[in-house]
């Protein structure tokens, strides 16, 4: 699990306003999630780094270094994308400031161990959605052939690679099952609400959202989203099971496939590596 030195570019004319196959709601939702990532990744890094000195297992220590390196790169690349999305009319800077304030408030309110449990829970969310993207052709088709698709596929691979690191650090430093499960119960409720509300707020700034037929059709299409299936919700819910571990769901074959497709000898993203 090594950080990849990678760069993406978003030329001015390269993205349509509604870049997720012209879908109004999904474009705003993906833009919102991208806006959340930089501050979120920084929070994850701080939560794990706080306990890095207490890790004695050499394998886990090495994984923590890889985790931090990958998350730093994720934050940087999402900031670049977010600037392009801001130019396109998405309120990514406002969301970035809001997330920064909320996460700093959480760090003041909660103990470092609870912050680590929040990180482990949110890493499960991102890993489940990442592996859904990598495994579902319909999910990949939503992103078309733009640079956003390339960036999100790379991000999905690395989220899947390091999905268990924060979880393993939490267990290694004495995190218990009660706190872990209680934290996920709260996040499982609050995170989707936050995404929904902020997506709706973002839509208010888009003139296209005031076309009632288009808006209703776009919301209706969410029923068929590959990211909102029963299988996805079951995997998210697995975290609440006592004794759960992220590696209970084997992703080895999936990662091998995408590492070859993206970074193999003729991988589609080899030219993005530095």
Tens digit of each residue's pLDDT (9 = 90 or more) over 159-172: 999 999 999 999 99
* Residue 168 resides in a domain: yes
* Residue 54 resides in a domain: yes
DSSP string, the chain: -----B-----TTSS-SSTTTT-HHHHHHHHHHHHHHHHHHHHHHHHHHTTGGG---HHHHHHHHHHHHHHHHHHHHHHHHHHHHHHTT--HHHHHHHHHHHHHHHHHHS-HHHHHHHHHHHHHHHHHHHHHHHH-HHHHHHTTTSHHHHHHHHHHHHHHHTTTHHHHHHHHTT--HHHHHHHHHHHHHHHHHHHHHHHHHHHHT-GGGG-HHHHHHHHHHGGG-GGGSHHHHHHHHHTTSTT--GGGS--HHHHHHHHHHHHSTT-TTGGGB-
When divided into structural domains, the chain yields a total of 1
* Residue 6 resides in a domain: no
* Residue 77 resides in a domain: yes
pLDDT (tens digit per residue) in 89-111:
999 999 999 999 999 999 999 99
* Residue 15 resides in a domain: no
Average pLDDT, the chain: 94
* Structure-block tokens of residue 271: 């030219």
CA 267 centroid distance within chain:
23
pLDDT (tens digit per residue) in 190-247:
999 999 999 999 999 999 999 999 999 999 999 999 999 999 999 999 999 999 999 9
Angle subtended by helix axes 177-204 and 112-135, to nearest 10: 60
Q: Are 83 and 35 in contact (CB under 8 A)?
A: no
List of residues 6+ apart from 174 with CB closer than 8 A:
113
CA 21 centroid distance within chain:
20
* Residue 14 resides in a domain: no
Query: In this predicted model, which residue has the larger pLDDT, 80 or 11?
Result: 80
* Residue 175 resides in a domain: yes
pLDDT of residue 76: 95
Q: Are 95 and 35 in contact (CB under 8 A)?
A: yes
pLDDT of residue 13: 62
12: pLDDT strictly greater than 70 = no
Kindly provide the b/e burial profile for residues 241-273, where b requires at least 16 CB atoms within 10 angstroms of the residue's own CB. eeebebeeeebeebbeebeeebbeeeeebeebe
* Residue 135 resides in a domain: yes
Output the CA–CA distances (angstroms, integers) from residue 130 to 15, 48, 139, 161, in the order listed.
Answer: 22, 20, 10, 10
Query: What range defines the domain where residue 140 resides?
Result: 24-263
pLDDT of residue 142: 86
Q: Which of 251, 235, 132, 225 is nearest to 188 (CA)?
A: 235
């Amino acid at each position: 699990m090594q950080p990849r030195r990678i760069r993406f570019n978003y030329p001015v004319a390269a993205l349509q306003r509604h870049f997720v196959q012209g879908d109004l709601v999904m474009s705003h939702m993906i833009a919102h999630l991208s806006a959340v990532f930089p501050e979120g990744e920084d929070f994850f890094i701080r939560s794990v780094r706080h306990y890095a000195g207490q890790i004695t297992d050499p394998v886990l220590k090495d994984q923590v270094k890889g985790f931090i390196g990958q998350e730093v790169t994720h934050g940087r690349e999402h900031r670049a994308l977010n600037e392009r999305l801001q130019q396109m009319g998405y309120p990514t800077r406002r969301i970035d400031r809001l997330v920064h304030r909320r996460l700093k408030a959480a760090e003041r309110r909660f103990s470092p161990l609870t912050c680590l449990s929040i990180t482990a829970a949110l890493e499960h969310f991102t890993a489940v959605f990442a592996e859904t993207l990598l495994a579902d052709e319909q999910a990949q088709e939503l992103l078309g052939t733009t640079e956003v698709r390339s960036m999100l596929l790379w991000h999905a691979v690395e989220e899947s690679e390091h999905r268990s690191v924060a979880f393993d650090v939490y267990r290694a430093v004495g995190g218990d099952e009660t706190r872990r499960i209680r934290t996920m119960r709260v996040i499982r409720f609050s995170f989707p609400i936050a995404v929904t509300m902020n997506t709706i707020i973002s839509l208010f700034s888009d003139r296209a959202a005031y076309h009632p037929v288009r808006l209703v059709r776009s919301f209706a299409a969410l029923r068929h989203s590959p990211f909102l299936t029963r299988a996805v919700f079951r995997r998210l819910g697995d975290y609440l099971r006592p004794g759960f571990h992220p590696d209970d769901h084997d992703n080895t074959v999936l990662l091998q496939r995408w590492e070859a497709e993206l970074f193999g000898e003729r991988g589609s993203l080899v030219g993005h590596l530095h």
